[in-house]
Amino acid sequence: MARIILFNKPYGVLSQFTDGQARATLSDYIDVPDVYAAGRLDRDSEGLLILTDDGRLQAKIAHPKHKLPKTYLVQVEGTPSDQALAALRDGVELKDGKTCPAKARIVDGPDWLWPRTPAVRFRKTVPDTWLELIITEGRNRQVRRMTASVGHPTLRLIRTQIGQWGIEGLDSGTYREV
């Protein structure tokens, strides 16, 4: 039976177990042998990271050909227009090609959110908005590049779900085996 671990990765933690530069890694939080991250989550992103000891499952989760939906809460600068949201839904042109269509909608800021260190910058003159964005690809820094391409840079990025797995009930920096 495959081991599956759901980890709520904090901001500033690398999605790997070792690092030659003394940065925070998975080994600072997870003491389970022989599991590996199924996909990546940037150091400056937070939320769900799945680890497993099953190579096939790892490939199914991580490889874009399987089109496993990944759900993100994205705090962006400004207030996206209907046109900006439509562009995200249609797919946006990035340097490495057009993205697959995403599901994108404005949502209320989550009331369950943990504080982040360092805190997201706040500017009185520029509003921010929370989006729910669901993608089926996993290009490098894709969500950040998509929101920037429609004029709304990402301030905070939290992956809340991958396929059937989510971070409900997991505090930042904690994990559970399923």
Rounded Cα–Cα distance for residues 85 and 141 (Å): 18
CB 153 within 8 A of CB 76: yes
User: Is 42 labeled as catalytic in the residue annotation?
Assistant: yes
CB 113 within 8 A of CB 57: no
> Quick one: 25 exposed, middle or buried, by C-beta within 10 A (0-12, 13-18, 19+)?
middle
Residue of 42, 44, 54, 128 with catalytic role = 42
Rounded Cα–Cα distance for residues 130 and 106 (Å): 6
Token look-up 């904090």 returns 10
Each residue of 65-86: b (16+ CB within 10 Å) or e?
Answer: eeebebbbbbbbbbebeeebbe
Rounded Cα–Cα distance for residues 141 and 39 (Å): 12
Residues with a known catalytic role: 42
